[in-house]
Structure 1
Amino acid sequence: MSFSDLGLSQKVVDAVSAAGYTQPTPIQEQAIPHVLARKDVLGIAQTGTGKTAAFTLPMLSILEQGRARARMPRTLILEPTRELAAQVEEAFIKYAPNHKLNVALLIGGVSFADQDAKITRGADVLIATPGRLLDHFERGKLLLTGIEILVIDEADRMLDMGFIPDIERIAGLCPFTRQTLFFTATMPPEIQRVTEQFLSSPVKIEVARPSSTAATITQKLVATHGKDYEKRETLRNLIQTAVSDSDGNPLKNGIIFCNRKTEVATLFRSLQRHGFSVGALHGDMDQRSRMAALDAFRKNELTLLVASDVAARGLDIPDVSHVFNYDIPHHAEDYVHRIGRTGRAGRLGTAYTLVARGDEKYLQAIEKLITKTIEWEAGDMSSLPERAPGESDEAPRRGRGGERDRKREKPRGGREGREHVRTAREQKIIDAAAAPDPDTPDEAAVERAPRPERAPRPERAPRAERSDRPERNERPERAARPDPAPRREAAPRRDDRRRNRDDDGPTPKGFGDFMPGFLMQGAPAKKD
């Protein structure tokens, strides 16, 4: 069957032929006719089987009718990571040279103003991560009432990253009459609940058993010590062996996966110091650095890429020959996605997983999920020494005296009563301090030995008496102080000067010199 038999428009078929594809993959062959029939689709397939084209190609045929309005996109594609969203945008650009469609990409690390300008012009296809999409909606720059097709890609990764509440909110903002396409590689119970909530009578397409690995990938286990410096040495030897492998699949390029971002940075610096062509990719890097490292790896400018699980889902790098699991993943589903970066589109691939003491339960979960026993490259778990209690995974460092000195391990949390596990060096120092020194006499014998008598202290000569020293009660008379100079009289105040000028005598009492007239009148005579 060819792409022209799936019901796609002639413009899309011509673009696919120009891209070099002739036959659809099983997921594309089964999903595209149902998408064109405007049915809800639940697609479950292995990573690297062409799920992106399974919804991209029919969407292009549907979007040939109609046009977008300002701030009201016609279709919405949700991706869990920025790299996946940018990859889907590249797919639309590759398959739509004959279409005049506006594609807007809403991801973090990019200016809001540029994204607002694209939305304002009208976007036929909106590709976004959930967080940035909700940021634009809450700013009042975006309306989702015109969505015709909603695509939720890598749904299991959405669940792992905690995006399910955001997905539920976004689906509630879209019209109820929309068409929903749901694609995932694994199907945990939580995803099953979400599909029942979002999809209406969906067509379930399962081209492979969930959480299965491709048959073109050779999987091997490598036993290693748990100490970091020995583990890095094992990885370097494994890379050099893979490069010179002439019988099987020689190493062209490879992705090295770590569980922690800090481990990505440490391993990147270590490989760089040993002369490897290597780059780094993790979530704490800015968007420009992440895209630059990914582009350099795709163009074969870098041989190795040390990455966290941000590169484990959906990245389409067709010709990756090897995958190295430096840390065994804690979730078995992540193993399926990690090794899915190699052996894509029928190519051969090799996946190595480093296993140390303490990783047994994670290995058992992986083999149970994929229903397959992974072979050991050399030896097995029994060849590793047992891990001593309190043994540190850190590399020993050189002390001042040239001896190897282990990093002291302190109890975490600062909680009192927690027992501190001594390292071997600390115990050695304590034992050496407790052991008796043959050159030092016994302390008890020293206590029993008589102490030498101390020589008497010479008597101090009497203090010479001074005849000229006065007696305690006889003190010299002090010289009499001179009489202070008489104080200068202060000048009288202004009102005092006026009063002294008007009156020469003392201030009279009563009325003074003035006598009222009624006092001058005589008393009336009494009548007989």
Structure 2
Amino acid sequence: MTFADLGLSDELLKAVTESGYDTPTPIQAQAIPSVLMMKDIIGIAQTGTGKTASFVLPMIDILAHGRARALMPRSLILEPTRELAAQVAENFEKYGKYHKLSMALLIGGVQMGDQVKALEKGVDVLIATPGRLMDLFERGKILLNGCNMLVIDEADRMLDMGFIPDIEHICTKLPAQRQTLLFSATMPPVIKKLADRFLSNPKSIEVARPATASTNIAQHLVKVDARKKREALRALLDGQKVQSAVIFCNRKTTVRELNKSLQRHGYKSGEIHGDIDQASRIAELERFRDGTVNILVASDVAARGLDIKGVSHVFNFDAPWHPDDYVHRIGRTGRAGAKGVAYTFVTKDDAEAIDNIQKLIGTKIDYADLPGETKDAEPKAEDKPAPTKARRPERSPDRSPDRSNEKRTDRRSDDRKPASRPSRQSATHDDGPDEGWNGPVPEFLSVGFNG
């Protein structure tokens, strides 16, 4: 099957071909014809399956007919984070270059004035995070009664971040007769109730079992001494054919320390976490994309939405605290049909976390040996001081239910109340998980494309 078999317009097919694609992924092959037929959709698809194009492509053709009016967007796409919203905007810009459609981004961390100006001109596609959309709606800067198409993307992440009440409120402001597309990696009961309430006779599409890791990713566990993690990581980086890699840590402090250690050992590495200012985030991602650095050390703020082609390896320097995070971390590799490799370091304190991960994905992950494991030496002097000792007690406090509740509250506040970030960061003193960033903001903040 090719994209030409899905009923897309010639202009859209030309843009898809020029982007280097000719064969649709399973989610695209199943969803695109149904969306073009104006059916409601429930799509259950794991990360890296081409889900975004499965709604962006048919939306472009549907919106090609009609005219936008001031303050009344014709379609609405809800995303949980700025990073995901920006990447959807990039997709519209890439595939919609032969269509005269206007687009606006409503995301936190950007001045409202430019966003309001874009809305006043009228937009065909509005891509928004729930917090900023609600802010503008309550100020009377946007009308939703002309929006005939709604996409709720990453619904399970919306649930994690506490956005479901906002989404329910937004849905009540939209026309009753509309097309609604809901996509989620998992389908917990709350999301099922949301779909039952706001979707009309939807077609369900499931291209992978909920919360499963891609079969294109070779997964490995590696037993390590907590004091020798850096040495083990360097052994894997040297022993594997690493084209580009993302290394995930649980804390911002660990990200910074590990990146400095890698650079001291001659690796081309960079870092991304919640304390980096916006300009530096964008610059660091561009350096990773263009190959200036081929190793990106990141906290979990980058686990979802970081879509960079050619990531060959993912390393979980710290085993994730939450099983769902594992799926989204390793999903940075093995994207769009490519092969990928994921290694997770396991210390003696990680047994419960690994057991929960394997229960979630329904697969037993095999252990792998380190290259030259029997020849391990003592950690070098630079790896023994305070950073090592600081990491050891970091792991247990955040397994408590109280930390889980704190994480959900912090996520919600990130988009809706950006002014509160400094106080939250100072309160945690870098001891908690990194919830301080929703992702980089691209240059096309208000209007994505015009013809």
Asked if Structure 1 and Structure 2 have the same fold, meaning a TM-score greater than 0.5 normalized by the shorter chain, the answer is yes
Counterpart of 2:215 in structure 1 is 215
2 CA distance for matches of 1:295 and 1:135? 31
Contact kept? 1:75, 1:126, Cα under 8 Å: yes
Q: Which residue, out of 248, 252, 273, partners 1:257?
A: 248
Counterpart of 1:109 in structure 2 is 109
Deviation per CA, 1:12-41, whole angstroms, max 9, x where unpaired? 122212222111111011101111111110
Which ranges in structure 1 are unaligned for 5 or more consecutive residues? 243-249, 384-393, 399-404, 414-528
Deviation per CA, 1:195-238, whole angstroms, max 9, x where unpaired? 223222211001121122222211111111234xx322322222
1 CA distance for matches of 2:386 and 2:79? 44
Counterpart of 1:154 in structure 2 is 154
Counterpart of 1:199 in structure 2 is 199
Deviation per CA, 1:348-398, whole angstroms, max 9, x where unpaired? 21100011111111111111122211111128xxx9xxxxxxxxxx95469
Distance 1:274 1:108, change over 3 A: farther
Contact kept? 1:211, 1:369, Cα under 8 Å: yes
Indicate the SS of the match to 2:180. strand
Contact kept? 1:154, 1:314, Cα under 8 Å: no
Distance 1:87 1:172, change over 3 A: same
Aligned residue runs from structure 1 range 347-426, under 5 A: 347-378=338-369, 395-396=384-385
The answer to whether 1:326 aligns with 2:317 is yes
Deviation at 1:157, TM superposition (A): 1.4
Counterpart of 1:425 in structure 2 is none
1 CA distance for matches of 2:188 and 2:234? 36
Larger mean CA deviation between 277-286 and 329-338 belongs to 277-286
1 CA distance for matches of 2:89 and 2:169? 24
* Structure 1 letter corresponding to 2:161: M
Which ranges in structure 2 are unaligned for 5 or more consecutive residues? 375-382, 398-451
Deviation per CA, 1:162-197, whole angstroms, max 9, x where unpaired? 222222222222222121111112223332222223
The answer to whether 1:184 aligns with 2:205 is no
* Structure 1 letter corresponding to 2:359: K
Counterpart of 1:236 in structure 2 is 234
Counterpart of 2:447 in structure 1 is none
Counterpart of 1:128 in structure 2 is 128
Counterpart of 1:98 in structure 2 is 98
Percent identity reads: 59
Indicate the SS of the match to 1:320. coil
Deviation at 1:345, TM superposition (A): 2.1
Distance 1:271 1:175, change over 3 A: same
Distance 1:2 1:334, change over 3 A: same
2 CA distance for matches of 1:304 and 1:343? 16
* Structure 1 letter corresponding to 2:298: A
2 CA distance for matches of 1:64 and 1:169? 28
Counterpart of 2:164 in structure 1 is 164
Contact kept? 1:157, 1:313, Cα under 8 Å: no
- Runs of 4+ in structure 1 over 6 Å off: none
Distance 1:127 1:286, change over 3 A: farther
Distance 1:17 1:307, change over 3 A: same
2 CA distance for matches of 1:158 and 1:266? 31
2 CA distance for matches of 1:171 and 1:283? 31
Q: Which residue, out of 287, 302, 309, partners 1:311?
A: 302
Indicate the SS of the match to 2:146. coil
Count of residues in Structure 1 that have an aligned counterpart in Structure 2: 384
Counterpart of 2:63 in structure 1 is 63
Distance 1:283 1:396, change over 3 A: closer
* Structure 2 letter corresponding to 1:327: D
Distance 1:147 1:31, change over 3 A: same
Deviation per CA, 1:103-122, whole angstroms, max 9, x where unpaired? 11111222222212111111
Deviation at 1:268, TM superposition (A): 2.5
1 CA distance for matches of 2:390 and 2:324? 36
1 CA distance for matches of 2:300 and 2:390? 31
The answer to whether 1:11 aligns with 2:18 is no
1 CA distance for matches of 2:390 and 2:144? 59
Aligned CA RMSD, in angstroms, stands at 2.6
Deviation per CA, 1:295-318, whole angstroms, max 9, x where unpaired? 221121211111122222243212
2 CA distance for matches of 1:368 and 1:308? 23
* Structure 1 letter corresponding to 2:232: T
Counterpart of 1:524 in structure 2 is none
1 CA distance for matches of 2:330 and 2:321? 14
Indicate the SS of the match to 2:349. coil
1 CA distance for matches of 2:143 and 2:278? 26
Indicate the SS of the match to 1:86. helix
Aligned residue runs from structure 1 range 439-478, under 5 A: none
Deviation at 1:406, TM superposition (A): 10
**Structure (1 or 2) with the larger CA radius of gyration:** 1
TM-score by length of 2: 0.80
2 CA distance for matches of 1:5 and 1:65? 21
Deviation per CA, 1:131-190, whole angstroms, max 9, x where unpaired? 121222222211111111111111111122222222222222222212111111222333
* Structure 2 letter corresponding to 1:236: R
Indicate the SS of the match to 1:280. strand
Contact kept? 1:268, 1:278, Cα under 8 Å: yes
1 CA distance for matches of 2:25 and 2:214? 14
* Structure 2 letter corresponding to 1:25: T
Structure possessing the higher relative contact order (Cα contacts under 8 Å, 6 or more residues apart): 2
* Structure 2 letter corresponding to 1:6: L
Distance 1:406 1:150, change over 3 A: closer
**Which structure features the higher share of helix residues?**
2
Deviation at 1:269, TM superposition (A): 2.8
Distance 1:156 1:397, change over 3 A: closer
Distance 1:190 1:331, change over 3 A: farther
Deviation per CA, 1:307-346, whole angstroms, max 9, x where unpaired? 1222222432121000001111122121111111111122
Contact kept? 1:48, 1:314, Cα under 8 Å: no
* Structure 1 letter corresponding to 2:155: A
Distance 1:15 1:363, change over 3 A: same
Contact kept? 1:39, 1:202, Cα under 8 Å: yes
The answer to whether 1:274 aligns with 2:265 is yes
